[in-house]
Amino acid sequence: MDADLERWKAAGQYFDYLGFDIFFSVAGLPLGEGPTLLLIHGYPFSSWDWSLIWPTLLERFTVIAPDMIGMGFSDKPVAYQYSVHDHADMHEALLEHLGVAQCHVLAHDLGDSVGQELLARHEFGDWSYRPLRFESITWLNGGMFNEAYTPRVMQKLMSRTPLGDIMSHVQGSVLSRKLLEPTLNEMFGPNTKPTPHMFEQFHQILEFNDGKRVMHQVGRFLNDRYTHRNRWVRAMRQTSVPMRLIDGPIDPNSGRHMADRYREVIPDADVVMLADDIAHWPQIEAPEAVLTHFLEHVDRVLGR
């Protein structure tokens, strides 16, 4: 395994979620001695997505960063019904396990959908474990409004047709790598394309515990966005939790067009657009800018 990934894994730990091992990291300020921050990563990778902003966050927060089931260093069962609701349950279970009752949230991609579900529980009181209080939420690029979301063709084929099940038996092969890399490459800006080393790290994360066998199953969260869209949006429109969207504008899935829709739907929308060459992974492509705008949002909430 890549040395950086090995160090990341060695610094984390596991907790039992209904019989499955879920990887997570807790670092920074001791619990209870400062604000707590929950990081909710996107699809198809893991908490490693936060590694470039991790050191700065540790100076300010108790930072909690799990890998969702089916991704990263967590268990990746084949016979499993992956869903946004279940991912939200897992995050709830982890916070209960750690004794956390309130936190700030920073979410990306699939993490936005999980954050929307958690916010809906916050607003409507239908928790699976115990109530949580969210002090702020910051969204990065994600499909928060399915009517504005434009997934790549391969994403739709793998997650919404039988092709995913057919291809699952050859995932992890040289062929699967060649099919995946162009789709990933398209999601980065022209000046922030992944290096060969980054691609190798991405593949190792996806292939850990034979993860590519379930990648298409995990990707079926696209269907949850249709099922739960109105409930999630109702929660976002009525909440008093301070929210900010930080968006990479040339993301083909959820770039400027998603930010425009956010402004149309969310009252008094707080939106920050990053530089014109930033796409789907702002925390990787423009980590310093993400930190600046995220910390500005939190400082305003904290009255600093």
| pLDDT recorded at residue 179 | 77
Gap between the Cα atoms of 179 and 187, Å rounded: 14
Q: State yes or no: pLDDT of 108 exceeds 70.
A: yes
Buried b vs exposed e over 256-278: b needs ≥16 C-beta within 10 Å?
A: ebbbebbeeebeebbbbebeeeb
The average pLDDT across 53-66 equals 98
Strand 62-66 with 20-28, pairing: antiparallel
The average pLDDT across 130-143 equals 97
Q: If you search the block for the tokens 């099940």, which residue do you land on?
A: 165
Q: State yes or no: pLDDT of 301 exceeds 80.
A: yes
**Percent of the chain topping pLDDT 70:** 92
Contact 53, 24 (CB under 8 A): no
| pLDDT recorded at residue 232 | 98
Domain range list for the chain = 3-302
The 10s digit of each residue's pLDDT in 10-26 is 999 999 999 999 999 99
Angle between helix axes 110-124 and 84-98 (nearest 10 degrees) is 70
| pLDDT recorded at residue 304 | 77
pLDDT greater at residue 66 or residue 304: 66
CATH of region 3-302, choose from 3.40.50.10490, 3.40.30.10, 3.40.50.2300, 3.40.50.1820: 3.40.50.1820
φ and ψ at 206, to 5 degrees? -65, -35
| pLDDT recorded at residue 174 | 56
Q: State yes or no: pLDDT of 199 exceeds 80.
A: yes
For 236-272, give the secondary structure using H, E and C.
Answer: HHHCCCCEEEEECCCCCCCCHHHHHHHHHHCCCCCEE
The 10s digit of each residue's pLDDT in 227-258 is 999 999 999 999 999 999 999 999 999 999 99
What DSSP element (H or E) covers 26?
strand 20-28
Q: State yes or no: pLDDT of 158 exceeds 70.
A: no
DSSP-H helix ranges across 75-173: 84-98, 110-124, 153-160, 163-167
| pLDDT recorded at residue 160 | 54
Q: What is the DSSP letter of 290?
A: H
Contact 40, 29 (CB under 8 A): no
Picking from 20, 24, 114, the residue whose alpha carbon sits closest to that of residue 76 is 20
The average pLDDT across 93-98 equals 98
Q: State yes or no: pLDDT of 56 exceeds 70.
A: yes
The average pLDDT across 158-185 equals 62
pLDDT band at 300 (very low <50, low <70, confident <90, very high): very high
Q: What is the DSSP letter of 101?
A: -
For the chain, the average pLDDT equals 93
φ and ψ at 257, to 5 degrees? -65, -35
Chain center to CA of 269: 21
| pLDDT recorded at residue 151 | 81
| Long-range contacts at 197-205 (CB < 8 A, ≥ 24 apart) | 197/2, 200/2, 201/2, 201/4, 201/5, 201/48, 202/45, 203/177, 204/1, 204/2, 204/5, 205/5, 205/45, 205/46, 205/48, 205/71, 205/72
Task: Identify the sign of the CA torsion 284, 111, 75, 186.
Answer: negative
pLDDT greater at residue 168 or residue 207: 207
| pLDDT recorded at residue 163 | 46
